[in-house]
Structure 1
Amino acid sequence: MGPVEINGLPAHVLLVHLTIVLIPAAAACVVLSAWWPRARRWLGVLTPLACLAALAMVPITTNAGEWLEERLGGEAPLIERHEELGKLMLWWAIALAVVGVVQWAWHRWYARGSAGARVDRQNELVGARASSGPGGDQVEFGNGAGRTSAAGRATIVGVVIGLIATAVAVGSVVHLVRVGESGSRAVWEGSYSTE
């Protein structure tokens, strides 16, 4: 799955840079799209595409890392720790891709549809009031809670999706930092002079 060598160098050490860029970029798109409508409109389909690209890079990078580990020889606890954390990165990338796609789809279809339904409902109520009888009787459809319940539910679902998306985005970046730190430690710890 994917390249294991690029120009005579282990592909892992090169591919990891692309993964390090894609995960935080996708996470930033998810958070911006969750809380800033203007950014959501501007980013559009870029958010789920960035999340899916990040997801695709994780197993490619992991596979190249496993290939490299087999060629390093011996048991190295720091490399094993890096490998363990690296394998967990896939789950974070899957979660990020899922929330990125779900959030985009929610705002693209359902939330937009709910806004349209709210406008139609408000127009219906205004029309009903305008056509009320000459005695000043007002005709209303349902109670106040009924008019706002669809809008309220859409808002609550949007906020819940935003909170989950933010938690997953932050968690994926934090885990990426842990993976990168363990990999750097495996490569560099004890291999250079501090003086």
Structure 2
Amino acid sequence: MEINGLPLHPLVVHAVVVLGPLAALTGLAYASVPRWRWLLRWPLVALALVTAVTAVVATSAGESLLDARPELEPLVDEHEDWGELLRTASLAYAAAAALGAWALGGPSALASGRGARDTNPVVGMIATVLIAVGAVALLVLVFLAGDSGARAVWG
């Protein structure tokens, strides 16, 4: 996969590197500050979905780049493993964000109180834990995949 003769992988990877941590930090705020949920619900879902899509595209583009340049295989073996794990984690995080958007209520930011929702305590706790754990995993895996990729390219 290429765009104007440039491999797509290094172009798309930068979207994951920026959006992944942003989605994770948004998720941590969403899970830990109930009064912000009204404001963060849809940005969280959007960031998590775009991160998951870009991670899938980056993985696919990386495989395409490796097919075109098989001599890179020994250099990018570790990076490939971390990238595949990041792809899986980002998809799971998108699911957790969707569950959290549906399951977690909270007070409304509107003066009228409109939009406030009550939360089932058990489902809310599960969603909160899944979002928090997924956010930490996403942060760690973005770092590990990015670091291993940078080491493969720059030494």
Once the two structures are superposed, what CA deviation does each residue of 1:60-96 show, in whole Å capped at 9, x if it has no partner?
1111111111222326423121112111112101111
Residue aligning to 2:77 = 80
Counterpart residue identity of residue 9, structure 1 = L
Residue aligning to 2:150 = 184
Q: Distance in 2 between matches of 1:175 and 1:73?
A: 25
Residue aligning to 2:2 = 5
Counterpart residue identity of residue 163, structure 1 = V
Residue aligning to 1:32 = 29
Give 4+ residue runs of structure 1 displaced > 6 Å after superposition: none
Matches for 1:109-120 after TM superposition, within 5 Å: 112-114=117-119
- Indicate the SS of the match to 2:93: helix
Residue aligning to 2:46 = 49
Contiguous gaps of at least 5 residues in structure 2:
107-115
- Normalised by the length of structure 1, the TM-score is 0.68
Matches for 1:64-79 after TM superposition, within 5 Å: 64-74=61-71, 76-79=73-76
Counterpart residue identity of residue 138, structure 2 = S
- Residue 173 (1) aligns with residue 131 (2): no
Identity %: 33
- Residue 89 (1) aligns with residue 55 (2): no
Question: Size of the alignment, in residue pairs?
Answer: 146
Contiguous gaps of at least 5 residues in structure 1:
115-153, 190-195
How far did residue 156 of structure 1 move? Answer: 4.8
Q: Distance in 1 between matches of 2:72 and 2:18?
A: 30
- Indicate the SS of the match to 2:95: helix
Counterpart residue identity of residue 66, structure 2 = E
Across the aligned residues of Structure 1 and Structure 2, the Cα RMSD in angstroms comes to 2.0
- Normalised by the length of structure 2, the TM-score is 0.84
Q: Distance in 1 between matches of 2:131 and 2:118?
A: 21
